[in-house]
Amino acid sequence: MGLTRNKRKTDPEIVIARDTDSELSSSSSSEEEDNYPLSESEEEDEAVKSGGKIELEKNKAKGNAPITVKLIKKVCKVCKQPGHEAGFKGATYIDCPMKPCFLCKMPGHTTMSCPHRVVTDHGILPTSHRNKKNSIDFVFKRQLQPRIPPIKPKYVIPDQVHCAVIRYHSRRVTCLEFHPTKNNILLSGDKKGQIGVWDFAKVYEKNVYGNIHSVQVNNIRFSPTNDDMVYSASSDGTIGYTDLETGTSSTLLNLNPDGWQGPNNWKMLYGMDINSEKGVVLAADNFGFLHMIDHRTNNGTGEPILIHKQGSKVVGLDCNPVQPELLLSCGNDHFARIWDMRKLQPKASLNDLAHKRVVNSAYFSPSSGTKILTTCQDNRIRIWDSIFGNLDLPSREIVHSNDFNRHLTPFKAEWDPKDTSESLIVVGRYISENYNGTALHPIDFIDASNGQLVAEVMDPNITTITPVNKLHPRDDVLASGSSRSLFIWRPQDKTEMVEEKKDKKIIICSGDSKKKGKKQKRGSDDEDDEDDMFISKGKNIKVNKSQAKTTKSSRKTKT
């Protein structure tokens, strides 16, 4: 198990090692890279070519030959059967053919040959994009099939990292929220319970509140009546109400007043939204119940209501943007449910949208509120085109790699709030692709009206999965959280010089005080990993060890 992990981590480094540019030699990372060994996979390959000699010699050299001499017999790591291999081969993952497809979950083929696979190779257009017909064919097809949606204005995709805060949070980012009026303020919650406030226009202005929650923040909402006040729902079972100016915070709801009574009793709050018409903050817990707080008095209202299967986690709540009586919920009982706010009682939902697995998120469309978008752990994004129509089945299912996995914040496909056609959605991708020798996990922009991939956004600097994505309500900006870091993406300005664009790219690296001692031993001087943040532009990006590696590879891929 450790093997696979190490292997994955070393793979991108091979590329970097070949790139002997000394640009970053001032950082402490270069010496290790210079004599970096072959990756384990390459070593393994050689061992096989030479009939396992390497392995035997190793044993001899140790002097104490074990009784069981391990010959390297190629056995699949996944199913333990001989004859094939599974796992990462460089930056490409080879599926075990004995398992169902990792992408669409159907048996009989692997991800490589999956009909839903988006990218076949780097630089090649996705099959869904390949324009096999000419424009006349297209027009003709439109006449024959009126259901093909009208041509929409071209989407503006924020596909370039504009700025970032590397290792901003001390645990992984769990949620993001833009300020309702100040365009450059981004709030972020993390697994540790901290809430960050970042002015990404000034880049270096950031603030972290650590006193609000004790564990994972699951949702942040601004008060509809006061821009400085935010509500936050957390797995510590509380709703926090925090003044961003002063940092003072109060607890509006605490589901665990008696403290820790064992894991079976600990209540956590996940989904949260605000119904400003009704003046109520809604939050749902991990036992299937909905809680409400009057947001004018900030007092709880009424008893909790069972809205999902008893004992199952309710992960998402969404109030309809047009019709205040409508509430959407989703949860681990494999359902998304539509509720009438006037009739909130167990089993009284207006509709139950069935899914095959856990529903990570369910959102009404942002303008009309008549469509529903859900993300499900069966690797499918579902769209219901009209809440007034038949909701037995979704209008479309889009196969998309958004498996839940340990240590990952659940993927949630989100609408672009600016797209009045209510088509563009953004969602991070779990499965990786091989981009010039580096495994990257892009952020996908999908046209929800036809399921087509509009854009896949990535940066060689970001090798971690990016499950948390939020599109700006007014600007062409995407904010994303990947592991502990935050990124701001803006559209590539094609009229600008590339060089100038590069110079605009700013990366802040904020060191972690806890790690300091450990990491600094490696360096020859004390330059890296200080608690100060480093701001630099263009080529002089000064980063810590792990960032330095990927920065190098980024140069390689870009030139």
Backbone angles phi, psi at 352, to 5 degrees: -120, 115
DSSP collapsed to 3 states, 114-181: CCCCCCCCCCCCCCCCCCCCCHHHHHHHHHHCCCCCCCCCCCCCCCEEEEEEECCCCCCEEEEEECCC
Buried-state track 311-337, b at ≥16 Cβ within 10 A, e below 16: ebbbbbbbbbeebeebbbbbbbbbbbb
Question: SS3 for 292?
Answer: strand
Show the site string, 16-55: x = touches DNA by CB under 7 A, - = not: ----------------------------------------
E-only strand ranges, 279-368: 280-285, 289-294, 299-300, 305-306, 314-319, 326-331, 335-340, 351-354, 359-364
DSSP class of residue 15?
H
- Return the residue of 207, 299, 405, 420 that touches DNA, per CB under 7 A: 405
- Return the residue of 95, 177, 285, 419 that touches DNA, per CB under 7 A: 95
- Return the residue of 73, 296, 347, 407 that touches DNA, per CB under 7 A: 407
CA dihedral sign, ordered 283, 287, 288, 289? negative
Closer of 81 and 128 to DNA (Cβ): 81
Whole-number Å distance between alpha carbons of 309 and 213: 27
- Return the residue of 73, 342, 406, 494 that touches DNA, per CB under 7 A: 406
Show the site string, 261-300: x = touches DNA by CB under 7 A, - = not: ----------------------------------------
Question: Minimum CB separation from DNA for residue 99, in Å?
Answer: 8
468 near DNA, judged by CB under 7 A:
no
Question: Minimum CB separation from DNA for residue 58, in Å?
Answer: 13
116 near DNA, judged by CB under 7 A:
no
- Return the residue of 254, 325, 404, 501 that touches DNA, per CB under 7 A: 404
142 near DNA, judged by CB under 7 A:
no
168 near DNA, judged by CB under 7 A:
no
Question: Which pairing describes strands 160-166 and 92-94: parallel, antiparallel, or unpaired?
Answer: unpaired
Whole-number Å distance between alpha carbons of 28 and 524: 6
Whose structure tokens read 């010039």?
A: 436
Closer of 274 and 314 to DNA (Cβ): 314
- Return the residue of 160, 349, 483, 553 that touches DNA, per CB under 7 A: 483
Q: What angle do CA 95, 101, 107 make, to 5 degrees?
A: 120
Q: Which stretch binds DNA (CB under 7 A): 34-42, 59-67, 367-375, 402-410?
A: 402-410
Structural tokens at position 309: 């299967």
Closer of 193 and 417 to DNA (Cβ): 193
What one-letter code names the amino acid at 324? P
Question: Minimum CB separation from DNA for residue 357, in Å?
Answer: 4
256 near DNA, judged by CB under 7 A:
no
484 near DNA, judged by CB under 7 A:
yes
Residues that bind DNA (CB under 7 A): 2, 4-5, 8, 78, 88, 93, 95, 102-103, 111, 170-172, 235, 313, 315, 332, 334, 357-358, 377, 404-408, 431-432, 463-465, 483-484, 512, 514-515
